Structure 1
């Protein structure tokens, strides 16, 4: 029967697995409180990957996820995550962050800097063992990359979780978005530094100069055209920026973020943007989660990977919480406020996974390190709602505190 199936049929069989299994687990298992659908999709991607299904059913795994199917899935995944990252760039609210620059800078700086430091220490410890640093990674790239992965806040997932907790449009939600927006800019800036290629530095400088000019022209164009045309023009702009950034030796994801960052959120209807994010998550992002799961590896040894994930989780969560509590002391926040903000800002999932994917693609980390980071991101995100929800119920007045 296998030999009689066409590539199209095998591809559709893979799509059936990608969409049906996580939905059934999420809906029948009623996991939403502990693990939203997006987290279940990431976990399912790991289960369908070589470390679990590939080990249990190697022949079936090789049949369904053959090189042709994987190549097709990767193309869909690249475009899905580019759109998602562009939306995250559009939603950056740097104007609001500037209006509250002292509070935003102190909080964002401590929320990013402390887990970055803790993560760098953990990465330095990992270097004492073989199998963690990638074949093309330099020591400083590995340490900074893993450290930044521990410091990341996933702005799109943070938005989804705050919607679930009904605080997104409240003053505390808007404050947290300001902090996360500044951290987002820093994260992509550090990634660009890690990916800086001195053999192609001229090309990269040329890209940045050309991008600045093109962005200025785009902004004039977007103001001139009706709103119904802006999404279409935005997608064309996304493809241009992704191609140019990859050609320059950065990464198409850096281009995707820059494509969104130079566009203003008020150019788009907020409800439509929320729907766009929802539809991307619904229709094509599950393919990215599966392609992510296909990169997981336990070759160093399952125990070692889980130990590394646990160490990174401790570094990530404790670093974020300590940093935000320091900011709360400086800014004289009320009791319990720093704890709620810190737990929300330690949400990882998508952006960390995208960040780690780029490090893996560039050979800076190995599949084993990627797997440990992925497990850390899943655990970090699953902790958020169960920890924050009861605290919000107990301290409702914090929701309405604007600073």
Structure 2
């Protein structure tokens, strides 16, 4: 029986795709490096690259060139978005792998209060804001409550990679505020991913009791799968893998299949990738005290040092392409309309005030000082990478439209830029305790000068590679 052949990609489609990737990557890396030099997160420059090549600048300055380079034809854009999808899956998975369960256990009391405050207050503010925003900002699948809940999720998350890098730059990973920040950010982000998975199902079928129950059941299945299937499988595969190439391939396959399993359950693929990353991170975590095993130690936990090539490809290629592609969808001309400019300012104010108020109330409940509460708010306010991922998911689900997508991206950029100076200002008023000095001395004695009790490495003297800068 003859098999019908699938027509190959047309030469002009291949040409445009290659030019798109080359131009986006070159400009994203250049502007990202410039942003780092100016002590800003790299994602600011990478998003700016997409903004300059998108409808905001190139689309107005050279519409003919913009129409050829980034045509609105679906198949052409889907090629570019597929590369960005791989980038976001690995980005979220490796962020999940940086979570230290031992750190979470040690700080669970006070951190739970801080994280609950930093989650519930901005979530409530975001939902209220979403209900009051003009209906013109909702996407085609954004019913009033789904859109409002999505805005709440977008406002309650924090960006673990941006926070970890900020704390590293300011030498605050050994401080109590630094450890509480990372622990609370882990809890808030896990809750954010879980709520996002529910919203993805609700956006597809509407807000109905039966669909919500089904979404909760599917979410429970996904969590059970991560705990009882993915984690043991990761331990088995990584424990028996031999050679750097085998470990790298095994991790990539686990991430992709976990993302596929999440999508098969009707959830966002990034939820499965994040869960897989957490499972992989728990495999490489050492004993009961939370110290890390670098391979061959107690318990036979695998050494994931061979993942460095994946991290470098992600940092230097896939992540810049994802953020630049996300920037292509930003249309600042929409904000020239006062109907959208005023809501943008309102959303930013509510997002910042909600995080600060929630973290401060949680800190007061945990009997921390006033300045420690403000420092926690300054650190947790950074949304960066995670909010960009959530905004992209909202646009893909049809909950957001280009105008509301632009507003959420601007909040991600603004809050990431605010974090370092505000954290530096607040922590200057928090005295270093003897316990913190002792903790720093102990960790340096055990792990060496480069080690810190946190997922991110301490910066070394001299120029830093781009992978270290992003983290």
TM-score bin, normalised by smaller chain: 0.7 to 0.9
Distance in 2 separating the partners of 1:138 and 1:171: 42
Relative to structure 1, is the Cα distance of residues 155 and 275 closer, same or farther in structure 2, using a 3 angstrom cutoff?
farther
Aligned length in residues: 395
Question: For residue 139 of structure 2, what is the aligned residue in structure 1?
Answer: 134
Matches within 5 A, 1:4-15: 6-15=12-21
Question: For residue 83 of structure 1, what is the aligned residue in structure 2?
Answer: 90
Matches within 5 A, 1:4-403: 6-25=12-31, 27=33, 31-33=37-39, 35-66=40-71, 67=73, 69-126=76-133, 129-168=134-173, 170-197=175-202, 205=217, 209=221, 212-213=224-225, 216-224=228-236, 225-226=239-240, 228=244, 229-263=246-280, 264=282, 265-266=284-285, 267=301, 269=303, 276-277=310-311, 279-297=313-331, 300-304=334-338, 305-393=340-428, 395=430, 397=432, 400=436
Q: Is the 8 A contact 2:35 2:45 kept in 1?
A: no
Structure 1 residue 296, shift from structure 2 partner = 2.3
Relative to structure 1, is the Cα distance of residues 99 and 169 closer, same or farther in structure 2, using a 3 angstrom cutoff?
closer
Structure 1 residue 30, shift from structure 2 partner = 7.0
Structure 1 residue 248, shift from structure 2 partner = 2.6
**CA displacement, residues 286-343 of structure 1 (integer Å, 9 cap, x when unaligned):** 1111221222235755244332222111111111111111122222213421112211
Structure 1: give runs of 5+ residues left out of the alignment: none
Structure 2: give runs of 5+ residues left out of the alignment: 1-10, 203-209, 286-300, 440-471
TM-score when normalising by structure 1: 0.87
**CA displacement, residues 338-357 of structure 1 (integer Å, 9 cap, x when unaligned):** 11221111101111111111
Relative to structure 1, is the Cα distance of residues 393 and 176 closer, same or farther in structure 2, using a 3 angstrom cutoff?
same
Moved more, 203-212 or 249-258: 203-212
**CA displacement, residues 337-380 of structure 1 (integer Å, 9 cap, x when unaligned):** 11122111110111111111111111112111111111111111
Distance in 2 separating the partners of 1:302 and 1:107: 38
Q: Is the 8 A contact 1:349 1:378 kept in 2?
A: yes
Q: Is the 8 A contact 2:41 2:416 kept in 1?
A: no
Distance in 1 separating the partners of 2:357 and 2:431: 23
Moved more, 207-216 or 191-200: 207-216
Distance in 2 separating the partners of 1:199 and 1:330: 37
Structure 1 residue 57, shift from structure 2 partner = 1.4
**CA displacement, residues 22-64 of structure 1 (integer Å, 9 cap, x when unaligned):** 444455677532x222211112222221232212211111111
Distance in 2 separating the partners of 1:339 and 1:275: 38
For the aligned residue pairs, the C-alpha RMSD in angstroms reads 3.0
TM-score when normalising by structure 2: 0.75
Moved more, 160-169 or 108-117: 160-169
* Secondary structure at 1:92 match in 2: coil
Q: Is the 8 A contact 1:77 1:288 kept in 2?
A: yes
Structure 1 residue 179, shift from structure 2 partner = 0.7
**CA displacement, residues 90-142 of structure 1 (integer Å, 9 cap, x when unaligned):** 2233443233322111000001111111222221221xx24211111222111
Relative to structure 1, is the Cα distance of residues 29 and 286 closer, same or farther in structure 2, using a 3 angstrom cutoff?
closer
Q: Which has the larger radius of gyration?
A: 2
Distance in 2 separating the partners of 1:291 and 1:380: 20
* Secondary structure at 1:196 match in 2: helix
* Secondary structure at 1:123 match in 2: helix
Distance in 1 separating the partners of 2:431 and 2:310: 31
Structure 1 residue 155, shift from structure 2 partner = 1.2
Q: Is the 8 A contact 2:196 2:268 kept in 1?
A: no
Q: Is the 8 A contact 1:200 1:248 kept in 2?
A: no
Distance in 1 separating the partners of 2:351 and 2:251: 34
Larger relative CO (CA 8 A, sep 6+): 1 or 2? Answer: 1
